[in-house]
Structure 1
Amino acid sequence: MASAQATGTTAHRGQDEHGTGARGRREGAPGQQPGRARDWAEIQERMLVPLYEAVYDRLEVGTATSVLGLGCRSGLALLLAAGRGAQVAGLEAEAELRELARDRRLRVGEAGPGGAEDGAVPRTAYSLVTIFEQLPGAAEPQALVAEAARRTHLGGHVVLAAWGPPERCESAAVLDVARRRAGRTTARDPFALSRPGGLEDLLVGAGLRAAGSGRVSCPFAYADLDSAVRGLLSTGLYDAAAEFSGRSLVAKELEEVLQPYLLPGGAVRMANVFRYVIAEQVR
């Protein structure tokens, strides 16, 4: 997601609500917000393009590669791999995102127990399985890595990615809104895996051996403030905050904390670093 030029979407921020605390009237469940998947596809997903390309370059992804994207969202990373000649498929839990990916003629099945039974995912094992998006917000990241390992053939690779150190990410202050507005819920720290060895620790017990790592600059750039708020809310990292405090209040606070990153002309830009680990399947 290197630079985001917003295109028209059907998303609208909700009206201000009178009660925003745990006892107040909440808006609909975050995952059901109209246009959220479209906001991801049109605004946010391109922010990690430098990460995707760096991984594909390093692993020389091409016609001999079969790629499975776990939590592939609307499928941009898969499209880039397919453009290099790879055979690609994905698993995604959110129905609207799956439909957007399928609109791009990608094979994407439903993530979760029994989710791939519709024939969308043609293989049982792949030479490369990626987890580009899911780990920072995953409730059980080790289970997700174990699933990736199970779907990787011997000698193949699993790629894990997460935010870099918070001091290297200007979005850290913006992501803190998710923590502060989530109350005493199960909201996860998006930087929990950013500590030294955080991603590598997930490999233990999964039959994976670390085979390399790297850091990639992934600036978050938006056409305007409204696009920035909609894009950030589409990541899922603010779901617990929106459920606890109300989406309108979270959106308002995001607008406030984004002010230091406004550029002349109204665009928004935050410099960020993401880290990835490459692991080899050894059993």
Structure 2
Amino acid sequence: MPRVSIIIPCYNAGELLTEAVQSALAQTWEDLEVVIVDDGSTDSATQKILEQASWPRTRIVHQTNAGPSAARNRAVQMATGQYILPLDADDTIEPQYVAKAVAVLDARPEVGVVYCKARKFGAEEGPWNLPAYSLRELVIDNVIFVTALYRKADWAAVGGYNEKLRHGVEDYEFWVKIVHLGREVVQLDESLFNYRIQQKSRTTSFQDGRAAVVETYAEIFRSNISFYAAHADFLFEHRFGLYDELGHWRSRYGKLDAFFNRHPVLLKIGRRLKRICRY
């Protein structure tokens, strides 16, 4: 029975951390440890929880704030498991997730990543309808969430998580590197991961800042040029598909757009009404 290490980076997660840890320890897979890396939390409630924690099979490490990539790398370095499952401090997993994912990695050495379907909870409820995994989808953008099982040996082979990526989507680049090793990806046909939606989070802050998004994806591209070059056809198919879609909507609504350009006052009124409707 291979040991599994569930790694949890924590930065000011507060009470949410307890739910994440409890879901990790509730796994039906027996040979399991939890490694928490406190990434320089400044919140007093989080600090108190970590100081008073007495969770079984759990180790807690503290470091100065260095970002989630550095925290995950530190956790994996300390992990004793053959397989690694990252879990963010505000999310949870269902009890069967580890056992079912391990079964795939054990049976299929060509597979490097196992994940599942997911549900949203918190500020938004319901299934998280990500596109199904394919190499084409991964080339265009990420379709694998961070909480997927992989081999510690593959983490070492690709050099871990890119610590330059402090704004977000560092897990995307990690999966790109794993797939570029020649590993396959399997998605379990069950919702075993629960993704918490918050009104304000690192993800929403990242998506709101165009400059940070451009900088991040440019770094991912530069660091993985061989991967994107090998699959450039997918990128250009997607690009020209967007051109076709834009052309369709322009032909359909071009006259309306031209009308508003001739009458800018009406356009301003429409924008005001849109803002009012939001509230």
TM-based fold match above 0.5? no
- Which of 1 and 2 has greater Rg? 2
**More relative contact order in 1 or in 2 (CA 8 Å, sep 6+)?**
1
TM-score, normalization by structure 2: 0.30
TM-score, normalization by structure 1: 0.30
